[in-house]
Structure 1
Amino acid sequence: MKDSSGRAQSPARPVEIKREESTKKGNRDGISTSTQREIPSRAAATLSSGKRKRSRPTRSRPAPSIIARPCFLIGHLLRVVLKGMHLDANSCLSPPLRHGTRSAIIDPINWKWRFPMKKKLSFFLAFLMILSMAGCTAGQPEEPPHVSKSNFMLDTYIEITLYDWTDASTIDLAFDEIRRLESLLSVEQTGSDLDRLAKAAGEEWVEISPETEEVLRLSKEYAALSEGYFDVTTGPLVSLWNIHNEQGHYPSQAELEQVLPLIDSDDLLVKEGHAFLARKGMVANLGAIAKGYIADQVKELLVAQGVEHAVLNLGRNILLIGDKQEGTAFTIGIQDPNEEEGVLADVVSATGKSIVTSGIDERYFTYQGKKYHHILDPYTGFPADTGLASVTILSDTSAQGDALSTTCFLLGIEKGMALVEQLDDVEALFITTEGELIPSSGYSNYQVQQ
């Protein structure tokens, strides 16, 4: 789905950070990063003694087997059992269990003739019990069940991951819901509510779905809240610039003068079940809010199915359901807009929240050596020049985060942050074109200390 006033739709990789230690400079292939330390091998360790030691060639060792890893535990338990049976453990085990060995072998030939049958049977049963205990405790902890699927929809890369869940068909239901809503809200789909609304502009009211009505009403609310900077009637302007896949059209002044008079949310009229664009040539494009609204509807669907822990990644719209199944918050990386994809500016930790980012690095093209991004100012007709490179919004709903990230970017640092501060349960991180990070007053409650 194309963005009408600045929402990014470029493919992006999931950004859940599955680690405890985060770095701002991540790997160059994606958002998720991890910090690793090299652990020196024993052969590389320096001997503290002044005596010259004979070096031995090193060789790689296979990973310990399930039985070998708890060999010390087995040996200790066997000795306890055998002591109770008045037997000498070392006389029955060949070779003896030694601390630090990779394997422990019990030689039945050496012990089976050394004590009576009754004690042999008791020993054998005790050994089987201990071996079964070792098998249960020695293995690595099993990864909690989860299922994940990805798709290319809404003109972006989408990935949905459900934790403590194994039924992949649940995600298929979510994809079906995305397709259904896109068929209503995308102006680019023939026969959609927005397509029919544009074709009837200046002529007649159009019957619309309850979902379309809800999004149009929300759009008008944010237009009023933003002094008109958030405006979904920028459809003609979006089409004029046509920024996509690092290609675009630099418009002439005459072209801008032709489309700017068509931009005015006051001329978008909504009544129950119907909408109307007052002038011919007007186009409503919901790209700056529809993706967030769709994410909220998908979350509602998944919760109704019983999902309690999930991450919905719709491009740079991240929506969380609950927390991780072990009770900890999800950790999400925020892209540095002044660096290449995968380099993080910051990391946040949240439960059940929406994290949405709009930035100059998501969709742009170069004309005569200058980059022009897709977040268009409805008053000038040009990409917004406010000194901001990106705005990230943390909120309860993705529709709110979607609309506010674009709105604050257009308003600029001072007015944008003032708007955030007056809203309940909303925090933000502004990143300037100079690389400065400007957080809202409560942003630190989510920030992961590094």
Structure 2
Amino acid sequence: MKKNKLLSILLIFLLFLSGCAGQEKEAKEPKLLTSPYKKTEFLMGTVVTVKIYDEGKEEVLEKAFDRIKYLAAHITVNENEKKSEIDEVNRKAGVEPVKVSKDIYELIQAGEAYSVDTKGSFDISIGPLTNLWRIGFPDARKPEQSEIDAVLPLIDYEQVELNKKEQTVFLKNPGMMLDLGAIAKGFITDEVVEVLKANNVTTAIVDLGGNIYVLGNNPSGRDWTVGIQNPLLSRGETIGKISEKNKSIVTSGIYERYLEVDGKTYHHLLNPDDGYPFNNDIAGVSIVSEKSIDGDGLSTSLFSKGIQGGLEFVENFKGVEAIFISTDNKVYITSGLKKNFELTNDEFELAN
């Protein structure tokens, strides 16, 4: 009898502890705001916005922007000041290896991996060519053919030597230049997401001028609705939408940055093989991936393959989906988006 009574008391005690644990867990659930904390600045030549929906996490905005500014200062190639780590690597091309920070080494390492995966259609050593065209800058111009011919031999990712032990980068030939602009925003976006997670932010949107990351569910508890950019118009104009959480959405388009010369338009996505912008049936491509740097690297390299080649190529990447928009307003999507993508612009046609 006493034994049964003791067991009953123990059971009640365990239920009490379980209830307390449940209440404690419930108490830890973050309270989300319908109107987020928000900060916007013009950095790296684009508008950068971070929105945090977790109540009481406004101070994390400053930490996020501190990280953005730190990385931008170390990555950005500045023609006038030449103060970044990448500037130093370029300055010592053909002379000696340069020791770089862990952040920059990892970024260059990632760029080299994409160069290998795409067999050079994405090439981190494209700097001499982008420095000729300068598309997106006030001094943009169409180079002479002789100038293009002179720099093409300098573009060769296989001549970029990385030493993991020493954390050094060496460009073997004089005149070589790294240009990490094609993946820098993706790398920085991923780093911002890490800052948010480290500070227990559960719900947020990071927007680095076309590199979008949606963290967690939206305040209503559902996936975020993300508009797919119309590559033929300015930012904010969309052709469709998808629903995602904890994903990056990166869009590249031929009218994002361009140069007009004698009535002809030259976009900023340059082909390392011939020195001119890629010329095929792609007007824009959006990449959905877990890492924003993956979206950056793939969105650029896919322009070299055309729509059909690009579709086949991206299907080989696990956890990555893509939306291609053709120059004649047709939309092609990868298999994983068949039940997710919704076309919302009647000027476009879903073609597959």
Alignment-derived partner of residue 61 in structure 2? 171
Contact 1:233 1:263 in 2 (8 A): yes
Q: Share of identical aligned residues, percent?
A: 37
Structure 1 residue 411 and structure 2 residue 305: aligned?
yes
Contact 1:246 1:363 in 2 (8 A): no
Name whichever of 331-340 and 297-306 sits farther off. 331-340
Code of the aligned partner of 1:384: F
**DSSP 3-state at the match of 1:232:** coil
Alignment-derived partner of residue 128 in structure 1? none
Code of the aligned partner of 2:314: V
Shift in CA distance, 341/212, structure 1 to aligned 2, threshold 3 Å: closer
Code of the aligned partner of 1:390: G
Q: What is the deviation of 1:325? A: 2.5
Alignment-derived partner of residue 205 in structure 2? 311
Alignment-derived partner of residue 163 in structure 2? 271
Shift in CA distance, 246/192, structure 1 to aligned 2, threshold 3 Å: closer
1:183 to 63, 73, 81: 73
Kindly report which structure 2 residues correspond to 1:313-332, keeping only aligned pairs within 5 A, or say none: 313-332=207-226
Alignment-derived partner of residue 78 in structure 1? none
Of structures 1 and 2, the larger Rg is shown by 1
Structure 1 residue 150 and structure 2 residue 40: aligned?
yes
Structure 1 residue 238 and structure 2 residue 130: aligned?
yes
Greater length-normalized contact order (CA 8 Å, ≥ 6 residues apart): 1
Alignment-derived partner of residue 218 in structure 1? 110
Contact 2:33 2:54 in 1 (8 A): no
Partners of 2:334 and 2:246 in 1: CA distance: 19
Contact 2:33 2:219 in 1 (8 A): no
Q: Deviations over 1:86-125 (max 9, x none)?
A: xxxxxxxxxxxxxxxxxxxxxxxxxxxxxxxxxxxxxxxx
**DSSP 3-state at the match of 2:249:** strand
Alignment-derived partner of residue 91 in structure 2? 199
Structure 1 residue 356 and structure 2 residue 250: aligned?
yes
User: What is the RMSD of the two structures over their aligned residues, measured on CA atoms?
Assistant: 1.6
Name whichever of 395-404 and 183-192 sits farther off. 183-192
Partners of 2:184 and 2:33 in 1: CA distance: 35
Contact 2:125 2:176 in 1 (8 A): yes
Alignment-derived partner of residue 292 in structure 1? 186
**DSSP 3-state at the match of 2:125:** helix
**DSSP 3-state at the match of 2:285:** strand
Contact 1:164 1:325 in 2 (8 A): no
1:333 to 227, 245, 258: 227
How many positions carry a matched residue from both structures? 309
Compute the TM-score of the two structures, normalised by the length of structure 2.
0.84
Q: What is the deviation of 1:327? A: 1.1
Partners of 2:135 and 2:72 in 1: CA distance: 20
Partners of 1:388 and 1:382 in 2: CA distance: 15
In structure 2, runs of 5+ residues without a counterpart are 1-31, 345-352
**DSSP 3-state at the match of 1:394:** strand
Q: What is the deviation of 1:245? A: 5.4
